[in-house]
Structure 1
Amino acid sequence: MAWVKWDQILLPYDYGGLNVSSLKLKNYSLLTKWWWRFLTNDNALWVRVIKSIYGQSGGLGCNSPLPATKMKIFSGRNWSQIINIDQTPSKLGCNLSNVFVKDVGSGLDTSFWNDIWIGDLPLKDAYSRLFRLEVFKDATISDRITITFDSPVFSWAWESQPTWRTEDELASLTNIIKLHKFSNNSKASWTWKHNSNGAFTTDSLMQVLTSLTAAKLPPSSATDLSPFVPKKVGIFIWRAKKNRLPVRVKLDRKGLDLHSTRCPVCDDDIETLHHSLISCKFASNIWDKVRRWWKFNQLHLTNLSDIASCSNPKLVTTLGVSIWQAVVWVTSYYLWIHRNNCTFGKNIDSAAKIFSDIQGKCFEWINCRWRKGALDWLSWITNPCRFDSIFTKNGIG
């Protein structure tokens, strides 16, 4: 039974996920690197072979390299699969044909109408009426434009004189070209839009696809994982914060036939996540023991978000808040373990035993993960707020 969307789990921590890298997006990024290699290695033997089969564009992007009848012959080839990888990124909003930008240089090896060199579409699609009037449909940029004193001079070849409809397109096209900045390079080159240095990397494409995936999911705050507890505890809190734990009320709503929806621990109320972790009599008893252990007047735990944030006005240092967060998270984790033991009839410990386990496990986990000092057990169980005496090597930082 799925409780959280898999796409949400795959997202990095900054997007509210669990930073499980997507093999699917990684595969797309690695295959896209072949696009970059094809575009930037004109003289390579394998590139010339691909062009001899699929045309000068190699079949990449929106240019059709072969007639449909011939395309079937090569549909099972490896390069055909590389051509078709554009479909999934395009669904996310990343059209690979538009993110590779071509610097045409002198324009000798760039098609004026068929290649994407200005705007997001080939000029044959953006100005279809003019393209129908073109005599030489494979004309290069140098055939149509000559740069003199930084100003383009046009050399058109029309089958018939443009009418009033196509004159508007022609005026629009010439204005766009006049605004285009032509480089002094003699040879065409390619740049990748999503990298400051213009070079393609698989990591940069992964970041783009990840951000586009996150944009299609409901907004979520960044995932907060405590440095003092194991990741399994952090993931438990992450699920609790999203209210995605299998309490009986949720199982009943999903259609499971349960003998009861009441709390398996106290049997006093319907089992919701708030009840299991906060308002249950047993949970309240544990939280009261934790409050007296830390010598707090009261605990600010009224809802699930308080468990995730773990704010307390008595704690003023970052280190103190982090350690208190670890204690709250471990306490919630042990309350859930106790709930599961009651549900499945396993060994049920007393409140005193669970509280002792919480103290011991917090001491063990924090001690193992705190690299700058060591916890003193006596200070830990008597007055954990005295951090200057808890850390025997280094005090509060």
Structure 2
Amino acid sequence: MLGDEFTHQSTLGTWKNIVMTGTTLEDFQVPFKSSFVKTIGNGDSTSFWNEQWCNRGKLCDVFPRLCRLDRNKEATFRDRVAKENGELIMKLDWVRDISGRVLGNLDQIATLVSAVNFDESKTDSWSWSFSNKGFEVKQLTSIIEEKILGNTTNIIPTIRNNLIPKKIEIFMWRALKKRLPVHVELDKRGIDLNSTRCPLCDGDLETVDHTLIFCNHALDVWMRIYRWWGMGNFNNFSISEIANEDINVPSSSRGSKVWQAVKWACAYYIWKNRNNKIFKGKNWSGPVALSEIQIASFVWISNRLKGKKLEWLVWLSNPNIYLSIL
């Protein structure tokens, strides 16, 4: 199994982290682990049954009956396949004679083996089915974005904002889909909790909207953000309203995106501080949260706003000027 092999104690940390990431990606229908396929050379380092070397998957999963009948289930590809007179033949060793419908399975395996480019002068290697250039973070990012953010037209037309990191876009998508692990959503999924009320204020059930908007801690942060930007009173009643809120002042498209980026950063930091309080016992306050959001949003936007430059002192004192000048 690829994950087991790469997470062995001798494995380099980078590959271990990459493969472990696959567990999360599988939840978004990104078949990450199965995308790594062994390319057969001499067959010495590839398990015949337990590694994926063909497009059908691992033979132990596809043909479990035959796998159980093999005397050596850890046999390598070279143990089970030989090349004679230019043709590949199988060298099988069963615990009993093969009969019945598994004979048909054996014919299928023979067909898969015949398609392998068996070359005793080469070593086995890994290939990545998502790209013929080998593993590429850029390509994987594109696949993840397509799966997670691609089909959001009917949810929210402004789900993308290139002024903030992808993790914030994904966070907002999860919030809009009610996929944050707040107590009410966990309870719906059958997770036994002592209470479904907000663990911070105990003022109401902990829904996504309560956590990110109505909780006293969240409201305090939002009011500070709106005062900082000179946007008047905070009157939003759902995370969807925040994500789609129109700005009733003359502004360019980029200016609107700047304000949107700040709001999304605010929601993200409210969630982050909520988790720090619950799981780490770290207290948080409105002024501290405001400072975190000001710094993070300034850095994110400054690094991504091509052709324009934000001024730190202006950002702190009069940020809504960027609604009209960008």
**TM-score, normalised by the number of residues in structure 1:** 0.47
1:297 aligned residue (229, 232, 242): 232
SS in 2 for 1:243: coil
C-alpha distance in 2 between matches for 1:297 and 1:69: 73
| Corresponding residue for residue 9 of structure 1 | 28
Residues 1:221 and 2:221 are matched in the alignment: no
Task: Please give the per-residue CA displacement for 1:196-234, whole angstroms capped at 9, x wherever unaligned.
Answer: xxxxxx99xxxxxx9xxx9xxxx9524833212122211
User: Equivalent of 2:276, from 341, 364, 367?
Assistant: 341
For residues 118-133 of structure 1, the aligned pairs below 5 Å read: none
Q: Distance in 2 between matches of 1:334 and 1:72?
A: 55
Of 323, 334, 340, 2:258 maps to 323
Q: Secondary structure at the match of 1:385?
A: helix
Separation (CA, whole Å) in 1 of partners of 2:110 and 2:292? 60
Equivalent residue number for residue 356 of structure 1: 291
> Could you report, residue by residue, the CA deviation over 1:91-144 in whole angstroms, capped at 9, with x for unpaired residues?
xxxxxxxxxxxxxxxxxxxxxxxxxxxxxxxxxxxxxxxxxxxxxxxxxxxxxx
CA distance in 2, matches of 1:388, 1:269: 36
Please state if 1:260 is matched with 2:195.
yes
Over the matched positions of the two proteins, sequence identity in percent amounts to: 33
CA contact (8 A) 2:254 2:323 kept: no
Distance 1:73 1:334, change over 3 A: closer
Match of 2:243 in 1: 308
Give the paired residue count. Answer: 222
1:350 partner amino acid:
S
Instruction: Tell me how far apart the structure 1 counterparts of residues 297 and 310 of structure 2 sit (CA, whole Å).
Output: 10
How do 1:172-187 residues align onto structure 2 when only pairs under 5 Å count?
A: none
8 Å contact from structure 2 (residues 163, 300) kept in 1? yes
Q: In 2, Cα distance between the equivalents of 1:364 and 1:298?
A: 26
CA contact (8 A) 2:180 2:208 kept: yes
Report what 1:377 is aligned to: 312
Equivalent residue in structure 2 for 1:243, among 178, 190, 193: 178
Q: For the Cα contact (< 8 Å) 1:300–1:312, is it kept in 2?
A: no
Question: What's the counterpart of residue 119 of structure 1?
Answer: none
Structure 1 position 361, deviation (Å): 0.9
Q: Is the 8 A contact 1:310 1:321 kept in 2?
A: no
**2:210 counterpart SS class:** helix
Deviations 1:10-38 (A, max 9, x none): 4xxxxxxxxx57676898xx969xxxxxx
Superposition CA RMSD, Å:
4.2
- Provide, for residues 332-366 of structure 1, a one-character-per-residue CA deviation record: whole Å limited to 9, x for no partner: 01111121122224221221111111111111111
Q: CA deviation at 1:70?
A: 8.3
- One-letter amino acid of the counterpart of residue 75, structure 1: Q
Report if aligned partners of 1:300, 1:306 keep a CA contact under 8 Å in 2. no
Structure 2: unaligned runs, 5 residues or longer: 1-23, 38-53, 57-85, 88-100, 116-130, 133-142
Gap runs ≥5 in structure 1: 11-19, 33-48, 51-67, 83-201, 204-209, 390-394
Q: How many Å separate the matches in 1 of 2:280 and 2:36?
A: 44
Aligned-partner Cα distance in 1 for 2:248–2:282: 37
TM-aligned CA deviation for residue 320 of structure 1:
1.3
Partner of 2:108: 75
Aligned mates of 1:81, 1:322 — CA distance in 2: 56
| CA distance 1:312–1:299, change in 2 (3 Å) | farther
Question: How big is each residue's C-alpha offset from its partner over 1:238-277, in whole Å with a ceiling of 9 and x where there is no partner?
Answer: 1101001111122223333323322122221121111001
Distance in 2 (CA, whole Å) between partners of 1:291 and 1:347 is 25
Q: 1:77 to 1:350 in 2, by over 3 A?
A: same
Q: Secondary structure at the match of 2:231?
A: coil
- TM-score, length-normalised on structure 2? 0.56
**Could you report, residue by residue, the CA deviation over 1:126-166 in whole angstroms, capped at 9, with x for unpaired residues?**
xxxxxxxxxxxxxxxxxxxxxxxxxxxxxxxxxxxxxxxxx
Q: C-alpha separation between the residues in 2 aligned to 1:259 and 1:72?
A: 51
Runs of 4+ residues over 4 Å off in structure 1: 5-8, 20-27, 68-73
Q: 2: CA distance between counterparts of 1:237 and 1:304? A: 9
C-alpha distance in structure 2 between counterparts of 1:242 and 1:81, whole Å: 47
Map 1:100-115; keep pairs closer than 5 Å.
none
Give the 3 Å change call, closer, same or farther, for CA 315–232 of structure 1 in structure 2.
farther
Does structure 2 conserve the Cα–Cα contact (< 8 Å) formed by 1:315 and 1:321?
Answer: no
Indicate how the Cα distance of structure 1 residues 300 and 23 shifts in structure 2: closer, same or farther if over 3 A, else same: farther
Quickly say closer, same or farther: Cα 1:23–1:315, change in 2 above 3 A.
farther
Distance 1:340 1:75, change over 3 A: same
